[in-house]
């Protein structure tokens, strides 16, 4: 359909951005206990270098680009600058699953200064620690932000013969994309999952982890792909029964707002020795970001407006893919071929028919994903598709055949062969599971006769040497230094402008 359309070259303007997390560690492989490096500026206000849950969990954010190559070049520059500011003995952990975690007390919460918004961010993280344990929050990944240009949406709207306002149409179609993404995201877990093993320290308080012994220090699953995305990762009892519908913007935002306002009795018992708040509130979700999902509809909210309010009032601006592991064999954790394929996969999810979903399918999707997490490389694995049992590999080949058509279209538009080549690379992984990152991790561990910790440490040391061996141009170095200085001044300005006491600020936030 799109092949015959004039103007389809606007797909060269697909926008994307990367958010990549990495733990700072010391030479023993433990979390760094030092503060966020001063030379990187304030984590509260820096546009490209911040922290996630922990002071030791760094997050690198690229601007929006149209070319994967440009995104990766910027991300490499950010890493190079970061290493120039890190103490020589500190490294960035190269894998999604952490090591070594002694106890929750060894995981320092991220600090954002004395402003109300800074204190709020730290308190939110403190609440996550109480609710889920701090260890779970040390898992790292890559988020992939994706949007299509208005020229495409106008073209697509004409093809579909709809006359709704453009933003309404975009929002409806992004939710259609999201529904299909959830149906087929198990394929990304298989193709790019890179966490089939972990250190025993990660599950030190969980005797029912369901993993097998790899050696005295490591646990794994023989056919596992991404333990990060399974029951050991982003899960909670409070959210286990939470059903958020993706059938429409109203249903999605209603579900989130209800969870944000609904008390959850077990959370009401968290107390601190000094009587200070332990969390933002005792509801199912403290804020909308606490809802864990493989994908999110997003809109950049104006200052003072909650994200869920911005979404409801203004519609979806872009989507955020959240199910990608760090690839420990790649210095940046991701490469151009993966990003190129992701664009084709997301177009497939958009262009394919996307019926409305229900709670039964919600649970089927969850079961498929968990099956691929635990047994993805098992050649006999079967999944459920529209109520029918199908072999995972057969289903994967069918999906990739459709994506190959989109890849060819994209190559014709760009005048390249990179989209088709990236898709063929994924087909090869279905044919031969030993080509997947998860299989390669276990293969390297076997070859070197090494536990998971030593494998990941070896990769971290190699990547540290790589980035420390790079040099930024004088202009780039100056620009990053100015960004850090500006971020520090912005943090100071925010702190000086605060008028409310924190208790009042928190009360107003919870009642907005």
Please provide the average confidence, as pLDDT, over all residues in the chain.
95
Alpha carbon 4 to its chain's center: 35
Model pLDDT, residue 327: 98
The tokens describing 411, both together, are 């190559």
How far apart are the C-alpha atoms of 283 and 268, rounded to whole Å? Answer: 8
Model pLDDT, residue 17: 97
Confidence category of residue 381, pLDDT binned at 50, 70, 90: very high
pLDDT digits (tens, 9 = 90+) for 307-336: 999 999 999 999 999 999 999 999 999 999
Q: What one-character-per-residue DSSP string does 417-471 give?
A: SHHHHHHHHHHHHHH-GGGSHHHHHHHHHHHHT--HHHHHHHHHHHHHHHHHT--
- Give the residue from 207, 201, 198, 227 showing the smallest Cα distance to 101: 201
How far apart are the C-alpha atoms of 489 and 470, rounded to whole Å? Answer: 29
Residue 403 inside a domain? The answer is: no
Task: Tell me the three state secondary structure of residue 197.
Answer: strand
Cβ–Cβ < 8 Å for 92, 463: yes
Residue 236 has pLDDT above 80, yes or no: no
Residue 1 has pLDDT above 70, yes or no: no
Cβ–Cβ < 8 Å for 454, 366: no
Q: Which residue has the higher pLDDT, 121 or 235?
A: 121
Residue 187 inside a domain? The answer is: yes
Cis peptide before 484 (omega within 30 of 0): no
Mean pLDDT across the stretch 64-80?
98
How far apart are the C-alpha atoms of 450 and 366, rounded to whole Å? Answer: 33
- Give the residue from 45, 34, 109, 50 showing the smallest Cα distance to 82: 50
The tokens describing 157, both together, are 């709207």
Q: Where are the beta strands (DSSP E) in 225-340?
A: 295-298, 318-324
Model pLDDT, residue 206: 86
Residue 417 inside a domain? The answer is: no
| Cβ contacts of 417 within 8 Å, gap of 6 or more | 411
Residue 66 has pLDDT above 60, yes or no: yes
Residue 414 inside a domain? The answer is: no
Residue 138 Cα distances to 99, 211, 216, angstroms:
9, 19, 22
Cβ–Cβ < 8 Å for 328, 97: no
CATH number of the domain encompassing residue 333: 3.30.590.20
Mean pLDDT across the stretch 125-139?
95
Residue 374 inside a domain? The answer is: no
Confidence category of residue 2, pLDDT binned at 50, 70, 90: low
pLDDT digits (tens, 9 = 90+) for 15-55: 999 999 999 999 999 999 999 999 999 999 999 999 999 99
Residue 432 inside a domain? The answer is: no
Q: Where are the beta strands (DSSP E) in 68-193?
A: 91-92, 142-147
Residue 251 inside a domain? The answer is: yes
Q: How many residues does the chain have?
A: 512
CA atoms within 13 A on the CB side of 112: 26
Number of domains in the chain: 1
Residue 268 inside a domain? The answer is: yes
- Give the residue from 148, 135, 61 showing the smallest Cα distance to 104: 135
Model pLDDT, residue 235: 60
Angle of helix 392-414 relative to helix 418-431, nearest 10 degrees?
A: 170
- Say what the pTM is: 0.96
CA atoms within 13 A on the CB side of 240: 8
How far apart are the C-alpha atoms of 397 and 502, rounded to whole Å? Answer: 55
Residue 47 Cα distances to 44, 53, 263, 302, 372, angstroms:
9, 17, 34, 16, 35
pLDDT digits (tens, 9 = 90+) for 460-510: 999 999 999 999 999 999 999 999 999 999 999 999 999 999 999 999 999
The parent domain of residue 314 ranges over 10-354+451-510
């Amino acid at each position: 359909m799109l092949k015959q359309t004039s103007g389809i070259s606007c797909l060269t303007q697909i926008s994307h951005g990367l958010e990549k997390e990495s733990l700072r560690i010391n030479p023993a492989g433990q979390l760094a206990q030092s503060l966020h490096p001063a030379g990187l500026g304030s984590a509260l206000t820096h546009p490209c270098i911040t922290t996630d849950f922990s002071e030791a969990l760094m997050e690198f954010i690229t601007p929006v680009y149209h070319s994967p190559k440009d995104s990766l070049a910027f991300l490499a520059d950010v890493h190079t600058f970061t290493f120039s500011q890190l103490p020589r003995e500190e490294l960035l952990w190269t894998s999604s699953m952490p090591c070594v975690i002694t106890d929750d007390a060894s995981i320092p919460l991220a600090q954002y200064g004395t402003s109300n918004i800074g204190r709020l961010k730290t308190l939110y993280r403190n609440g996550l620690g109480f609710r889920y344990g701090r260890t779970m929050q040390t898992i790292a990944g890559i988020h992939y932000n994706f949007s299509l240009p208005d020229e495409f949406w106008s073209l697509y709207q004409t093809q579909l013969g709809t006359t709704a306002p453009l933003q309404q149409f975009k929002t409806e179609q992004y939710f259609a994309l999201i529904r299909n993404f959830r149906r087929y995201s198990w394929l990304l877990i298989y193709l790019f999952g890179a966490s089939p093993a972990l250190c025993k320290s990660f599950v030190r308080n969980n005797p029912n982890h369901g993993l097998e012994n790899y050696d005295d220090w490591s646990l794994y699953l023989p056919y596992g792909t991404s333990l990060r995305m399974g029951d050991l990762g982003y899960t909670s009892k409070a959210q286990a029964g939470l059903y958020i519908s993706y059938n429409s913007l109203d249903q999605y935002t209603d579900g989130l707002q209800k969870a944000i306002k609904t008390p959850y009795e077990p959370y009401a018992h968290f107390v601190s020795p000094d009587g200070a708040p332990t969390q933002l509130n005792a509801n199912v979700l403290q804020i909308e970001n606490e809802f864990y999902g493989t994908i999110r509809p997003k809109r950049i909210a104006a200052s003072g407006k909650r994200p869920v309010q911005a979404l409801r009032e203004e519609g979806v601006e872009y989507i955020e893919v959240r199910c990608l592991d760090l690839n420990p064999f790649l210095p940046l954790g991701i490469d151009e071929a993966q990003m190129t394929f992701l664009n084709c996969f997301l177009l497939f999810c958009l262009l394919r028919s996307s019926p409305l979903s229900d709670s039964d399918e919600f649970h089927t999707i969850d079961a498929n994903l968990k099956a691929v997490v635990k047994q993805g490389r098992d050649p006999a694995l079967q999944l459920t598709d529209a109520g029918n049992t199908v072999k995972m590999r057969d289903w994967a080949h069918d999906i990739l055949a459709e994506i190959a058509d989109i890849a060819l279209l994209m190559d014709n538009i760009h005048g390249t062969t990179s989209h088709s080549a990236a898709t063929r690379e994924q087909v090869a992984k279905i044919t031969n599971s030993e080509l997947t990152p998860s299989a390669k991790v276990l293969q390297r561990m076997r070859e070197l006769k090494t536990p998971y910790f030593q494998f990941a440490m070896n990769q971290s040391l190699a990547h540290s040497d790589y980035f420390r061996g790079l040099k930024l141009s004088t202009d780039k170095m100056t620009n990053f230094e100015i960004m850090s200085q500006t971020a520090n001044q912005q943090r100071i300005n925010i702190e000086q402008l605060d008028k409310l006491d924190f208790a009042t600020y928190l009360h107003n936030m919870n009642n907005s």
